[in-house]
Amino acid sequence: MTLIEAHPHGPSQTHSRTLFSSYRLGGLALPNRVVMAPMTRVRAAAGGLATPSMATYYAQRATAGLIVSEGVQPSLIGQSNPGTPGLYTDEQVASWRPVTAAVHANGGRIFAQIMHGGRVSHPDTTGLVPVGPSAVAAVGEVFTPAGPQAAPAPRALDTAEVPEHAQSYAAAARRAVDAGFDGVELHGANGYLISQFLSSNANLRTDRYGGTIANRVRFAVEAVAATVDAVGAARTGIRLSPGGTFWGVEEKDVLELYTVLLGELARLEPAYVHLEATADDDVLVALRRAWPGTLIMNPVVPMGPKRGGRPDADRWLGLGADLVSFGRAFIANPDLVERLRGGLPIAPDDEATYYQGGDAGYVTYPAYQHAG
């Protein structure tokens, strides 16, 4: 694989690029290039409220160059899982302020990931029939208050309704900034609403939002444009999973699809694009070359068999990534940056506590204990 020598940011950002060198992201000065990836932890209180334990959890991990929060729904109909937080009521905004304040007090920076589940939802969770680009059910079982259930067929959005769902990301972004977040990341990956519009099997539309690649990228571009208008480009990022098959989505012409999308997004100059390693290296490197802005690379497939480590990060910095995100490694290692820097052991996490609620396996993992 040919390493990328030139870089769109110019020599000022490429000099001595290591995982622990500083980086300027929009209006933020990041002390290192380690990003905490968004991870669902289902610890929110009733009404989608953030909690004191969530403040502790994120503050413990504030040495990351950037934290991206768990997915936060922009509306009730956008909620995918029970127990997830929202950013669509005044009470939710107020509940997030102690979280962002705790991260900032510990010297950190945090973006809220805005996640509209689209068809990956259930009436037992929201009281509403899920919506999607077409009336095609997701593959698999979705979480509900009564346990896993088959994903229901969503109601296909009318053309006139689509813009309000694009605007919901922007409305949530305004609330996120009001709650003290440094910015937002639109969840355009992993089979959720933006990903559903990009898909060639979840999106069977024949209007301006379906069919051609230009039409299938339209929803993503409109959501980012609305968010940039709402809170500014420097506070707006998007996460994408090129070629990913989460929840049964398929994408034809992956390289062309994402090259067109990145070209459209480049005109909006968002703070970053966050790619997952859901395609072959040649596709991902081509997308790096196609994207003129900051790239965050998640170097392993989320929830896949491999967990990202220092070699994966160094490899992708060599291939042109600016920042590298780590997911599961941050669960059991609140001091992950220090462990990576010092070559210290990465503690294992307990999968049984990922989604069980409570503080165990959430805020109970210790920092590395050096021998006295």
Looking at the predicted structure, is the pLDDT value of residue 14 above 70? no
> For all residues of the chain together, what is the average pLDDT?
94
Return the active site residues: 192
CA distance 110 to 7: 26
Q: Give the dihedral of Cα atoms 5, 3, 254, 71; nearest 10 deg.
A: -80
24-349 folds as TIM Barrel (3.20.20)
Looking at the predicted structure, is the pLDDT value of residue 72 above 70? yes
Q: Looking at residues 330-346, what average pLDDT do you find?
A: 96
Instruction: Work out the pLDDT band at 366, boundaries 50, 70, 90.
Output: very high
Does pTM surpass 0.85?
yes
Looking at the predicted structure, is the pLDDT value of residue 6 above 80? no
Residue partners of 5: CB distance under 8 A and separation at least 6: none
Quick one: tokens of 338? Answer: 């220090």
Q: Looking at residues 41-65, what average pLDDT do you find?
A: 98
What confidence tens digit (pLDDT) does each residue in 235-259 have? Answer: 999 999 999 999 999 999 999 999 9
pLDDT of residue 356: 87
Q: Looking at residues 15-28, what average pLDDT do you find?
A: 90
pLDDT of residue 205: 98
Higher pLDDT, 306 or 217: 217
pLDDT of residue 301: 78
Q: Looking at residues 264-274, what average pLDDT do you find?
A: 98
pLDDT of residue 15: 47
CA distance 244 to 92: 31
Looking at the predicted structure, is the pLDDT value of residue 308 above 90? no
CA distance 221 to 134: 19
pLDDT of residue 240: 98
What confidence tens digit (pLDDT) does each residue in 130-173 have? Answer: 999 999 999 999 999 999 999 999 999 999 999 999 999 999 99
Looking at the predicted structure, is the pLDDT value of residue 3 above 60? no
pLDDT of residue 17: 82
CA distance 116 to 87: 11
